[in-house]
Amino acid sequence: MKIYLVIFLLSFFSGSVLINRLKRFSFKEPFLKHKNNTPFLGGTGLLLSFGFGASALFFYKNIYISSELTRILIFAFIVFIMGLLDDFKEFSLFKKVLIQVIVIGLFLVKGKPIQVYFIPLWANYFVSFLWIMGITNVFNLLDIGDGFCAGVSLIAGLAFFIVLFINGNLITAGLFACVCGALFSFLIFNFPPAKIMLGNSGSHFLGFLFATLSMHGDYATLDNPFSVLIPLVILAFPMIDTLYLIVSRLKKGIAPLMKSNDHIFLHLLSLGKTIKHALLDTYLTTFLWGVSGISLIFGINIFFLSFIALAILFSTRLIFIANKGQ
């Protein structure tokens, strides 16, 4: 357990220093800021601090990193670079989708797909493609308010770390510990009022990393086949928010991937909630889904049923309140 604390702290402290430096540098250069005058290089600090933590993990007692994990990290970096280019010169929607299709397709050519044993191999690849494409864009869509994407990601990342540690996926758990340390340091600068943003580079990098690392974990067992749903449960609130966004846009006649202020979080703000109050509501709901995912390791029991019921109740409440803000 000591190594996880070390890499978490290494990612956190390196992130704190790097993001602070990037923030100061960005304020001197207008081209490194979005229209709201907030620097968008937070994703760069996130990537570098994650890299420091991951390097310490791999050098610790010469831990072996599999070719599959190596591929995940290489393609996560490629996704980051594509997002960074998008930050400097915003791509058209067609170009964004085309780049994602190519990158994810190449990743899956020799990659390990989701292992659902009761469906054919081609269907596993198709589900894997949809999962990576969907979660990558879900995290990008979450990046719409101070502290929102980073806080939700940190809570979900901690849940994945606990699940993978309990299941014995120790290296993948270590990578989530690095992600959490980096996110914690970023959240310090991104919490309202935000002094730096993730940018498309950071949000796409996070989404791809969560999607692929969650696929890499082993969840289901013969005794507990329902545990294959753990990633879906942990990431339920981000997916609910995206589904709510898509439905709201379709009702207004807006294309689902076009920009609009139809997120649950933004509707809460439009109703007069303070940003910190809205964050508390979304963090708590994400936490309940995360605990539900963790408890699913042990099967369908009273603990899981209690937390999943609370998670559904709180999510429904947020949707009901957000509808008033439309």
- pLDDT band at residue 36, thresholds of 50, 70 and 90? low
Q: Which of 182, 203, 218 is the last residue of a domain?
A: 218
Please report, rounded to a whole number, the percentage of residues in the chain having pLDDT higher than 70: 91
Q: Which of 192, 218, 244 is the last residue of a domain?
A: 218
Q: Which residues contact 148 (CB under 8 A, 6 or more apart)?
A: 142, 265, 279, 282
> Where does 110-228 have alpha helices with state H?
121-142, 148-167, 170-190, 199-216
Verify that 96 and 123 share a domain, yes or no: yes
Verify that 204 and 159 share a domain, yes or no: yes
Mean pLDDT of 26-41: 68
Verify that 198 and 72 share a domain, yes or no: yes
What pLDDT shows up at residue 220? 60
Verify that 194 and 318 share a domain, yes or no: no
Q: Residue 238: pLDDT above 80?
A: yes
- Using CA atoms, how far apart are residues 216 and 69, in angstroms rounded to an integer? 8
Verify that 206 and 256 share a domain, yes or no: no
Verify that 154 and 254 share a domain, yes or no: no
What pLDDT shows up at residue 169? 87
Verify that 226 and 211 share a domain, yes or no: no
Verify that 137 and 238 share a domain, yes or no: no
Q: Which helix (H) or strand (E) holds 314?
A: helix 302-324
User: Which pTM value belongs to this model?
Assistant: 0.93
Verify that 129 and 213 share a domain, yes or no: yes
Q: Which of 172, 193, 218 is the last residue of a domain?
A: 218
Verify that 295 and 238 share a domain, yes or no: yes
pLDDT digit string, tens, across residues 63-85:
778 888 999 999 999 999 999 99
- Going 2 to 4 to 5 to 7, the CA torsion angle's sign is positive
Verify that 20 and 163 share a domain, yes or no: yes
Verify that 213 and 226 share a domain, yes or no: no
Give how many domains the chain has, as a whole number.
2
Q: Which residues contact 54 (CB under 8 A, 6 or more apart)?
A: 7, 73, 174, 175, 178
Domain residue limits at 304: 222-326
pLDDT digit string, tens, across residues 139-149:
998 988 889 99
